[in-house]
Structure 1
Amino acid sequence: MYTIASRVGASQTGADGNMKLISAVDLMQDCSMLWMESEPSFTTFLSSNNLGMFLLFRQAQVIRLPKYGERVRAATSIYQCKGFYGYRNTFLYGEDGGPCVKSWGIGAFVSYETGRMVRLPKEEMDKVVLDPQLDMDYGDKRILLPSGESKPLPAMPVRRNDIDLNGHMNNARYLEAAMELLPQGRTVLGFRVEYKAPAKLGDLLYPGLVEAGNRVYITLSGNDGQTYAVLEFSLGS
């Protein structure tokens, strides 16, 4: 398990005095990537073979959001690693030691040269430290859209600030863009995101939205019909 400590600052806090959900996701994501520091052999193998790790799916369960000034800790751990994929938990803990946000995700090992997924040798997989899978509500990695007509919304450009070190839209920015389309005044209790294809600088995201009870489904697609991401939000009052 790899952890980083932080404190909720003003730039991470919303009008309600609590940490913004997207700020919590950013911190958890940073922890997941910095985890590489704890696996130097594995990191060397990836870099020497021009390979990277790309997120395919993430689910999060929101228990509560920490308050402004609260000391928090993000912790990430791998609980399964096989073939093309790695499975991890990343939790955000509050000052009281209890979990604030629970998440799990699936990453794929991808060649920077070809853009295709690569199966890692078992001997490299075996070097990765595995931890027990943590307790949370685990949903399906496939997001099935409900029946009903999708509501089209104005296109959203991929901004320069959305691009990360891999040269495409950072996975948390899809979430941030989609959250702007949610009904105001509703609390996000959890979400699932399925990543289909990377959007790049200059692309336009065409959102589609379907509401089904306390759930909102959002697709972010290109003008050619290519789907970049599918998101499902569970909403409270």
Structure 2
Amino acid sequence: MLKIQDQVTTSCTDCNGKLKLFSAFQMMQDCSELWLDTATEYRDFLRAHGLAQLIASRQVEVVRVPNYKEKLTIQTGVYGCEPLFGFRNTFIYDEAGNPCYKTWSLGVFCDLKTGRMKKLPQEVIDAYTYEPKLEMHYKDRRIVVPNAEVKTFEPVVVSRNDIDYNQHLNNAHYVRIASEYLPEDFNVKGVRVEYKVPVKLGEEIVPQVLTEGNFIYVKLLKKELPCAILEFEQG
């Protein structure tokens, strides 16, 4: 398990002085990445074999959105692993120790050269010490988009500032892009993101948006195929 301290600063807040959803995703992602340096044997095995664990899905429960200057603790830990998949909780807590965001995510083990999924040896899986699975409402990692009226928007071009060290669109930026199509008064209670295929510098993403009940779905298309599907639930 890894815990890091953070604070809601000016660059992380929206016009109402609340932590942006995009910034919360960045905090969770950063904590998960820093965790890798605490699991040195696991990290070294991946590097020695040219492997990486890439996020395939994330579910977020929004309990309370923190305010400007609030101090936060981000905590992450792996609670399970299979040959192709790893499972992780990442929670964000306020100063009183109450959860603001509860999340779980699924990572896929991939060969960095081929981009194909690659199984971990069972001895590597058995050697790791796992954390308890934290309490939250776990939904399926796959998002079923309802059959409803779709609105298509102008393409978004991926810029240099969207790219991370894996040379593709950073995971949190999918949320940033999709959030632009939510109504201003949409109070986000929950989010699910299913990542499909990486998007690289200069490529275009075509957003498609549809609504059903308290849910808004955003499909981000790359060459007419989904690169990510996002589900936003209104509270």
Q: Percent of aligned pairs with the same residue?
A: 42
TM-score (norm 1): 0.97
RMSD between aligned alpha carbons? 0.9
- The answer to whether the 8 Å contact 1:42/1:127 transfers is no
Deviation at residue 149 of structure 1 after TM alignment? 2.7
Q: How does 1:204-215 map to 2 (within 5 A)?
A: 204-215=204-215
Structure 1 window deviating more from structure 2 (144-153 vs 47-56): it is 144-153
Report the residue type matching 1:149 in the other structure: E
TM-score (norm 2): 0.98
The 3-state SS of whatever aligns with 1:125 is helix
Q: How does 1:21-100 map to 2 (within 5 A)?
A: 21-100=21-100
Q: Deviations over 1:20-78 (max 9, x none)?
A: 12111101110011111111001000011111110000000000111111110100011
The 3-state SS of whatever aligns with 2:23 is helix
Say yes or no: does 1:227 pair with 2:205: no
Which consecutive residues of structure 1, in runs of 5 or more, have no partner in the other structure?
Answer: none
Runs of 4+ in 1 over 3 A off after TM superposition: none
- The answer to whether the 8 Å contact 1:46/1:52 transfers is yes
Q: Which residue of 2 aligns with 1:143?
A: 143
Which consecutive residues of structure 2, in runs of 5 or more, have no partner in the other structure?
Answer: none
Q: Which residue of 1 aligns with 2:159?
A: 159
Q: Which residue of 2 aligns with 1:193?
A: 193
Deviation at residue 133 of structure 1 after TM alignment? 0.6
Report the residue type matching 2:233 in the other structure: S
The 3-state SS of whatever aligns with 2:135 is coil
Structure 1 window deviating more from structure 2 (36-45 vs 144-153): it is 144-153
- The answer to whether the 8 Å contact 1:210/1:217 transfers is yes
The 3-state SS of whatever aligns with 1:52 is strand
Q: Which residue of 2 aligns with 1:123?
A: 123
The 3-state SS of whatever aligns with 2:130 is coil
The 3-state SS of whatever aligns with 1:75 is strand
